[in-house]
A and B are shown apart, each in its own frame.
Chain A
Amino acid sequence: MDLNEVRKVARLARLELSDADLNRMAQQLSNILAYVDQLKELNTDGIEPLAHPLPVQNVFREDVPGESLPVDLALANAPNRVGNFFGVPSVLDPADEPSH
C-alpha cells in the first residue's frame, strides 16, 4: 500500500493519524497484505463464502414496548450532556452554511 492509499483508508476509517504513523502503517499493512496474498494461490471458484459459523438470519422481537433506560442513566456516560440530550459538534461548519 502506498501512502496515498493509506491516507484514503484512514479517511474512510475516520482515523486522524500523524505522518509518521501513516508511513509506519503503509509499511506494516503492506507486509500483512503480502502475507494474506497467499490466499490467492487457492482456487475458490464455486465455494460459498462463510460469513458466520451459524446459519443466522435476522431476528425480530415481538413489537411490544420493553423497559427503557432512564434518561439520566442513558446519558450518564455522555462526554457532553445538554439537558436531556447528547451535546455534539455542528454537522455543518457554520462558515459553510449558505447565506440567506
Chain B
Amino acid sequence: MSLIEKTAVELLQMQSRGETTSEAITTAFLNTIQQVDSKIKAFMTVEADKALEQARAVDAKRKSGAPLGAFAGVPIAIKDVLCTKGTRTSCSSKILENFVPPYDATVVTRLREADAVIIGKTNMDEFAMGSSTENSAYFTTRNPWDLDRIPGGSSGGSAACVAACEVPVSLGTDTGGSIRQPAALCGIVGIKPTYGRVSRYGLIAFASSLDQVGPFTHDLMDNALLMEIISGRDPKDSTSIDTPVPKYTQSLNTPIKDLTIGVPKEFFGEGLDSEVEASVKAALKEYEKQGAKLKEVSLPHSKYAVAVYYLVATAEASSNLARFEGMHYGYRTPTKGDLVSTYSKTRGEGFGKEVQRRIMLGTYALSAEARSDYYLKALKVRRLIKNDFDVAFKECDVVIGPTSPCAAFKMGEKTENPLAMYLNDIYTISCNLAGIAGISIPCGFTKNKLPIGLQILAGPFEEEKMFRVARMYEAATDWHLKRAKV
C-alpha cells in the first residue's frame, strides 16, 4: 500500500519510527491532489505552501524532542463551512466568495493544537444544503468510484478527497445526513456525533439545532482518534456539553458482549435498492455470527422525518442566513439602491437556487399564517420521532440499517426534482432531529462497483459503544481497505 493509501494512524506510526516525515507525507498528498483533483474537484482551496510550512514545523519539533500533538504531521482537509483564520471560507456560495475569517472554528483550533497539517478547504453544497454537492456555486465534485456520479452531499468534497486518497482524513458537517450519506456513497467512514459532543463555534450555521461536525476517514481507528481530538466542551459554544470524552481509540477493539441490535422495520420497505438491502442484511448476519441478537424495532414516525426536517431546518436556515445582507462582509450587489433593495438584490444575486428555495420555505413556515400548521406541527412530530428512539434504545444497544436508499446516482439525475433529492436522506435525518449519534461504515459494493454504507445509530453520548459495534463488523471484513483508483 502506497503512502497516500495509508491511514492517519499508520502515518503517525511511520513518523514516530523515523520511516518518513510530515514533509514527505504532505508532499505525497499534495502531488496526488495535483494529479487527480482536476477529475475529482474536491477542493475549493488548496494551500500547498502553508501546508508544507506546517509540516516542516512539525518535523522540526519532532527532531528537537519537543512534545507532539496527537495528530502530528498528518494532513487533513476541512469542509468550507468551517472558519479557518486567514483562509477563504466560502460555504461554496457566491455570497461568501471573498470571505476570509479573522478566527478559527474551535474544531480547527483543536486540530492545530494537535499539530495536524491543514491542507485545504473542500467543496460542498452551498451552505450545506443538498445531498449531492451539485448545489455548489462553483463546480460539482465527482465520486472517485465513478466520475459520472455524485459523491453525495453536502460534504461531498470532504468525502471524495478521502476516497480518492488526496488526504487521509477530513472534516465535514451533518445536518440531515451530510456526513453519513457521502461517506456511504464514497466507501469510507463518517460519523455524526451526538448533538453537543463537538463544538459548533466557527461553523457557519445552517440549522443550529441539527448541525454537527464530524470526521471522514478510511477506518474506525482514525475516526475514533479524530473524535478524541475535536470533542468536548467549548466555552465559546453554549450548546457543547460538559461531559468527559472517552478514549475511543483504547476501547475500540473490545467487542460488546450480549449485543442487541435493533433492526427498524421501517428502514427496509419501499424505495430501498435491492443491492443495498442485500449488503445491509449480510452485515446483520455477520453480527449474528459474532453472537449479536437481532431484534425488530419500530420507529413509526420515521416516515415523517423528511417532512419534519424540511420545515425545521429551513425555518432555522431562514433565520441564520438573514445575516448575509452584504453590509458587513461578503458579496454586495453593485446596483445602487436604498437599504432594503440592496439587501434583496444582494441576496437574490448571491444565493443559489436551492438556498433561496429553503429560505423561502422556512420564511413561509415561520410566517404568521403558516406557523401553527407547519413549524409548530413539525416540532411536535419531532418530539414523536425522538420518543421512538427513546423506546428503541430501551430494547437494544444500537439501531442498524442502511445509510442511503441507493448507491451513488448519476450527476443531474435528481437536480430538477427537489423532493426526490430530499428523499435521499430518509434514513439519516431522524438521527439529527433526535440529536443522537450515527455513523456510516462501508459494507459492500453494488455490481457496478459502487460503495454501500451501513448505518449504526446509538443513544446520546454513546459514541464509544457505537464505535465498538462498528469495529466488530470492520474487523471481520475488508471493505475499509479498498481504495478507489482514480
Question: Which residues on the A side are within 8 Å of B69 (C-beta)?
Answer: none
Q: Is B484 an interface residue when CB atoms closer than 8 A count as contact? A: no
Question: Which residues on the A side are within 8 Å of B307 (C-beta)?
Answer: 35-36, 38-39
Query: When A32-B418, A49-B379, A50-B383 are in contact, do A14 and B325 touch as well, CB less than 8 Å?
Result: yes
Q: Is A47 an interface residue when CB atoms closer than 8 A count as contact? A: yes
Query: When A88-B339, A90-B338 are in contact, do A17 and B384 touch as well, CB less than 8 Å?
Result: no
- Tell me, in angstroms, the Cα distance from A77 to B338 when the chains sit together: 21
- Tell me, in angstroms, the Cα distance from A54 to B18 when the chains sit together: 46
Total contacts A-B at CB 8 Å: 156
- Tell me, in angstroms, the Cα distance from A1 to B382 when the chains sit together: 25
Q: Is B304 an interface residue when CB atoms closer than 8 A count as contact? A: yes
Q: Is B28 an interface residue when CB atoms closer than 8 A count as contact? A: no
Question: Which residues on the A side are within 8 Å of B330 (C-beta)?
Answer: 77, 79
Find residues 42-90 in chain A having any chain B CB closer than 8 Å to their own CB.
42, 44, 47-54, 56, 59, 69, 73-74, 76-80, 86, 88-90
Query: When A49-B379, A78-B329 are in contact, do A29 and B360 touch as well, CB less than 8 Å?
Result: yes
Residue with the greatest number of chain B CB neighbours at <10 A, chosen from A16, A28, A38, A86:
A16
Q: Is B241 an interface residue when CB atoms closer than 8 A count as contact? A: yes
Q: Is B139 an interface residue when CB atoms closer than 8 A count as contact? A: no
Q: Is the CB of B419 within 8 A of A31?
A: yes
- Tell me, in angstroms, the Cα distance from A33 to B367 when the chains sit together: 14
Q: Is the CB of B100 within 8 A of A47?
A: no
Q: Is A100 an interface residue when CB atoms closer than 8 A count as contact? A: no
Q: Is the CB of A79 within 8 A of B331?
A: yes
Q: Is A9 an interface residue when CB atoms closer than 8 A count as contact? A: yes
Question: Which residues on the A side are within 8 Å of B255 (C-beta)?
Answer: none
Q: Is B386 an interface residue when CB atoms closer than 8 A count as contact? A: yes
Query: When A28-B357, A93-B338 are in contact, do A76 and B102 touch as well, CB less than 8 Å?
Result: yes
Query: When A38-B307, A39-B308, A79-B326 are in contact, do A25 and B344 touch as well, CB less than 8 Å?
Result: no
Q: Is the CB of B337 within 8 A of A89?
A: yes
Query: When A14-B325, A15-B359, A69-B102 are in contact, do A54 and B381 touch as well, CB less than 8 Å?
Result: no
Residue in chain A with minimal CB distance to B369: A5
| Nearest CB of chain A from residue B271's CB, rounded to whole Å | 14
Residue in chain B with minimal CB distance to A38: B307
Q: Is the CB of A53 within 8 A of B356?
A: no
Q: Is the CB of A48 within 8 A of B380?
A: yes
Question: Which residues on the B side are within 8 Å of A89 (C-beta)?
Answer: 336-339, 342
Q: Is B149 an interface residue when CB atoms closer than 8 A count as contact? A: no
| Nearest CB of chain A from residue B131's CB, rounded to whole Å | 15
Q: Is the CB of B328 within 8 A of A77?
A: yes
Q: Is A3 an interface residue when CB atoms closer than 8 A count as contact? A: no
Tell me how many residues of A have a C-beta within 8 Å of chain B.
51
- Tell me, in angstroms, the Cα distance from A86 to B359 when the chains sit together: 26
- Tell me, in angstroms, the Cα distance from A29 to B382 when the chains sit together: 21
Q: Is the CB of B347 within 8 A of A16?
A: yes
Q: Give the contacting residue for B386; candidates A1, A6, A12, A53; CB below 8 A.
A: A53
Contact with A along B295-339 (1 / 0, CB 8 A): 000000100101110110000001000100111111110001111
- Tell me, in angstroms, the Cα distance from A38 to B377 when the chains sit together: 11
- Tell me, in angstroms, the Cα distance from A56 to B331 when the chains sit together: 33
Q: Is B343 an interface residue when CB atoms closer than 8 A count as contact? A: yes
Q: Is the CB of A9 within 8 A of B367?
A: yes
Q: Is the CB of A13 within 8 A of B238?
A: no
Q: Is B378 an interface residue when CB atoms closer than 8 A count as contact? A: yes
Q: Give the contacting residue for B318; candidates A13, A29, A31, A50; CB below 8 A.
A: A13
Q: Is B435 an interface residue when CB atoms closer than 8 A count as contact? A: yes
Q: Is B29 an interface residue when CB atoms closer than 8 A count as contact? A: no
Q: Is the CB of B381 within 8 A of A39?
A: yes
Q: Is B434 an interface residue when CB atoms closer than 8 A count as contact? A: yes
| Nearest CB of chain B from residue A61's CB, rounded to whole Å | 8
Q: Is B130 an interface residue when CB atoms closer than 8 A count as contact? A: no
| Nearest CB of chain A from residue B90's CB, rounded to whole Å | 12
Q: Give the contacting residue for A56; candidates B239, B304, B347, B379; CB below 8 A.
A: B239
Question: Which residues on the A side are within 8 Å of B336 (C-beta)?
Answer: 89
- Tell me, in angstroms, the Cα distance from A89 to B345 when the chains sit together: 13
A-B contact pairs, 17 of them (CB 8 A): A13-B347, A15-B344, A15-B360, A16-B349, A25-B356, A29-B357, A31-B419, A36-B307, A39-B307, A42-B301, A47-B384, A49-B376, A53-B433, A54-B195, A77-B102, A79-B332, A89-B342
A-B contact sample (6 more), CB < 8 A, given A54-B195, A74-B102: A14-B325, A17-B348, A47-B383, A50-B380, A77-B329, A89-B337
Q: What 8 A-B pairs have minimum CB-CB distances, sorted nearest first?
A: A53-B435, A49-B379, A77-B329, A16-B348, A79-B332, A44-B380, A59-B238, A50-B383
